[in-house]
Amino acid sequence: MSATIDQLVNREYQYGFSTDIESETLPPGLSEDTVRFISAKKQEPEWLLEWRLKAFRRWLTMTEPHWPNVTYEPIDYQSVSYYSEPKSTKPIGSLDEIDPKLLEMYSKLGISLNEQKRLSGVAVDAVFDSVSVGTTFREELAKEGIIFCSFGEAVREHPDLVKQYLGSVVPYSDNYFAALNSAVFSDGSFCYIPKGVRCPLELSTYFRINQSNTGQFERTLIVADEGSYVSYLEGCTAPKRDTNQLHAAVVEIIALDNATVKYSTVQNWYAGDENGLGGIYNFVTKRGKAMTNAKISWTQVETGSAITWKYPSVILQGDNSVGEFYSVAVASKMQQADTGTKMIHIGRNTKSNIVSKGISAMKGQNSYRGKVHILPKAEGARNYTQCDSMLVGNECGAHTFPYIEVQNNSAILEHEASTSKIGEDQIFYLKQRGLDAEQAVSMIVSGFCKEVFKELPMEFALEAQQLLGITLEGSVG
Amino acid sequence: MLEIRDLHAAVDGTPILKGITLTVNAGEVHAVMGPNGSGKSTLAQVLAGHPAYEITSGEILYKGENLVEMEAEERAQQGVFLAFQYPVEIPGVSNAYFLRAAYNAKLKAAGKEEVDPMEFLDLVEEKLKLVDMDPAMLHRSVNAGFSGGEKKRNEILQMAVLDPTLAILDETDSGLDIDALRIVAGGVNALKRPDNAAIVVTHYQRLLNYIVPDQVHVLAGGRIVKSGGKELALELEARGYDWLLEAVA
């Protein structure tokens, strides 16, 4: 029976194809010249180059963090290529100018860059290796005053906004990988929602690493002005390759007074094979700052990557601000995930809610690491944390590392945790009712993840469903 | 409908069933009784296709086909239903969703069109009355936090929805109070038809006051040591199992 489970969790990675497209790729190596090359390539202003160089110099003085519960061979940062772009990319303009091969690849991934096919009501910014190859529905969004474009374009066309907010939540000195990203980030998405505007579409960035031996270092900056609302989605895939590839991204969210930002991720980078060969090292810094009455909600479904190191966090700066974190993390094969969140309560009556569901299978190791910090002035702060682990088989592991620091006695914190195991008995029960093993595992897992899946936007819930092979609850349910 | 011939089965290399031969015809109810450890539950699990049990020799024919070759879900799709002694909890999955998935799996296997949630709701509401279950139970997670009696009733609800050809009830009476027992037995009786059959595995005779068997078999040491009509159950109630075991020894 456990052989059946193994087969199911060990299914072929269906996004593992690579696209044969001519690329201009920087030779491996990292120095100030690399930083200058990228900055020049993007025709950046002097202030941004300076910022990158400061980050690079800072990075040189830092050491890679080894406190996460993961093990891997030392990374040779000089063997990575820090920039790759498809040769045919013209300066961003009409979507018609995108290389048909790229369009084909995105459609193979289920991402339509064709605005005619407006099935899902999602505006997409597609990032291929180091550059954004196209952003859909820009004009429609512009009517509302919403800016949604590649990061490079934002630097050129909205420099004041970028300058004001870049690094304001995740400073370049924040941590080793954030510093590296700040030095060499190549592209990403930028989004600004004006005062009082409710963004009519889901905004989405789809990240694809194609070139072998390249790292992807993208940066996303979302600014929600006072009283605005936006729901943002992020998806990621990469071809199957035998070598590990580095992905060190930074996402910054600023939610000004009374704004709400919902950020959802389905991360499905290539995870490596069952012997741990290949796969993406996913070292990501994601953080939001919520001002008065603002709300930031992170939802993530992490199924890919050989190693995941990621703690989407919220700084609850303003009074009455709310931070949420809903997570499903799967570690199968030889995957290692060390993921969780930080909720930093600064303002009064701030609230945070954490729901983490970790699934470990085969030889996967899954760690939840979360911090709740109540600062002295956070009168009346509240936190609820629920942390559940599910084990499939006998060779995997689940670990929980909660950190709680309370400096104000009026705070109320709750923490619940559980560990369960998918048993042969559960699977046999469902099989005896006519469901095959795959449906059975899907049903058990979907039940386990229900509280998180219901937080995902519909379009994404469907993708997550496909990803985990899960049938979601029907309308009678 | 069911022909078991000289069936031997083992778990982890330990033989449990040591030569069972049993024929169940359409329209019949068979009771399988016996002391603890006699192999009653193993027989039920083997018929349902539990992977932990290895069939070492003998054969099982179901509607003329080799049951042993079929996966558990195939057997279920073909109308074999096991009411579990210990129904399993599936947190986060609603009873309604689970029931519909099971119902649709059977339809799909038969090449029929699956039903949508609204159609299914109509169907299941009828069946709820049969086991006197509150419709609110449909929206709770499968068996999670159910009382012992609720779990057993839920098994019979599933049986009613799936309408099996061969129903195997594994100690469905254990842990039931008399009212629940009556409801469960009533459900089973209501589902009885000339074209289906049931095997009722039980330790005690009391269930057989409500579900009247055509034949009673006594299992001991992995073999059927005695078969008879419904009066055999009464005799067992009065005399216990020891006299039979001694006779065999």
From the first residue on, what is the mean pLDDT of each consecutive set of 10 residues in chain A (477 residues)? 47 63 79 94 94 97 93 90 71 56 65 50 66 71 90 94 97 96 92 95 76 79 98 74 82 98 87 82 96 97 89 98 95 90 98 95 91 97 95 87 96 93 87 90 86 80 60 23
Angle, helix B95-109 to helix B148-162, in steps of 10 degrees: 30
- Amino acid identity of residue A184, one-letter, is V
Q: Which residues of B touch A474 (CB under 8 A)?
A: 96-97, 100, 117
How far is Cα A2 from Cα A437, in angstroms, rounded to an integer? 11
Q: Are B109 and A434 in contact (CB under 8 A)?
A: yes
Please tell me if residue B76 touches chain A, with a CB cutoff of 8 Å. Answer: yes
- What tens digit of pLDDT does each residue of B163-197 get? 999 999 999 888 888 888 888 888 889 999 999 99
Question: Which ipTM value was assigned to this complex?
Answer: 0.95
Q: What are the domain boundaries of chain A?
A: 2-310, 424-471
Please tell me if residue A424 touches chain B, with a CB cutoff of 8 Å. Answer: yes
The average pLDDT across B94-122 equals: 93
Please tell me if residue A80 touches chain B, with a CB cutoff of 8 Å. Answer: no
Q: Which residues of B touch A447 (CB under 8 A)?
A: 90-93, 141-142
Please tell me if residue B77 touches chain A, with a CB cutoff of 8 Å. Answer: yes
Residue A147 has a pLDDT of 94
How far is Cα A395 from Cα B247, in angstroms, rounded to an integer? 49
The C-alpha of B233 sits at a distance from chain A's nearest C-alpha, in angstroms, of: 29
Adjacent-strand bridge partners of B82: B168
Please tell me if residue B51 touches chain A, with a CB cutoff of 8 Å. Answer: yes
Please tell me if residue B145 touches chain A, with a CB cutoff of 8 Å. Answer: no
**Candidates B51, B91, B96; nearest CB to A1:** B51
- Tokens representing residue A106 in the block: 């995105």
**Candidates A447, A471, A476; nearest CB to B92:** A447
Residue A11 has a pLDDT of 55
CB contact under 8 A, B90 and A423: no
Q: Which of residues 224-243 of B touch A (CB under 8 A)?
A: none
- The answer, yes or no, to whether residue B200 has pLDDT greater than 60, is yes
- What tens digit of pLDDT does each residue of B54-107 get? 999 999 999 999 999 999 999 999 999 999 999 999 999 999 999 999 999 999
Tokens 């159950």 sit on residue: B233
Q: Which residues of A touch B41 (CB under 8 A)?
A: none
The 3-class SS string of B155-175 reads HHHHHHHHCCCEEEEECCCCC
Please tell me if residue A437 touches chain B, with a CB cutoff of 8 Å. Answer: yes
Please tell me if residue B120 touches chain A, with a CB cutoff of 8 Å. Answer: yes
The C-alpha of A4 sits at a distance from chain B's nearest C-alpha, in angstroms, of: 11
Tokens 């510093």 sit on residue: A179
Sign, Cα dihedral of A168, A170, A176, A179: negative
- What tens digit of pLDDT does each residue of B234-245 get? 888 888 888 887
CB contact under 8 A, A471 and B84: no
Class of domain B2-248: alpha beta
Q: What are the domain boundaries of chain B?
A: 2-248
Q: Are B30 and B233 in contact (CB under 8 A)?
A: no
Residue A73 has a pLDDT of 87
How far is Cα A178 from Cα A176, in angstroms, rounded to an integer? 6
Best of B11, B97, B168 to disrupt the A interface (most A CBs within 10 Å) is B97
How far is Cα B151 from Cα B173, in angstroms, rounded to an integer? 11
CB contact under 8 A, B102 and A431: no
How far is Cα B119 from Cα A474, in angstroms, rounded to an integer? 12
Residue B204 has a pLDDT of 82
8-state DSSP, B7: E
Segment of A430-444, B2-16, B198-212 carrying the highest mean pLDDT = B2-16
How far is Cα A169 from Cα A65, in angstroms, rounded to an integer? 20
- Amino acid identity of residue B47, one-letter, is L
Question: Nearest residue on chain B to A450, judged by CA atoms?
Answer: B92
Please tell me if residue A418 touches chain B, with a CB cutoff of 8 Å. Answer: no
The C-alpha of A362 sits at a distance from chain B's nearest C-alpha, in angstroms, of: 20
Please tell me if residue B48 touches chain A, with a CB cutoff of 8 Å. Answer: yes
Question: Nearest residue on chain B to A437, judged by CA atoms?
Answer: B73
The average pLDDT across B205-210 equals: 87
Please tell me if residue B136 touches chain A, with a CB cutoff of 8 Å. Answer: no
**Candidates A432, A451, A476; nearest CB to B100:** A476
The C-alpha of A448 sits at a distance from chain B's nearest C-alpha, in angstroms, of: 6
Q: Which residues of B touch A425 (CB under 8 A)?
A: 88
Kindly report the length of chain A.
Answer: 477
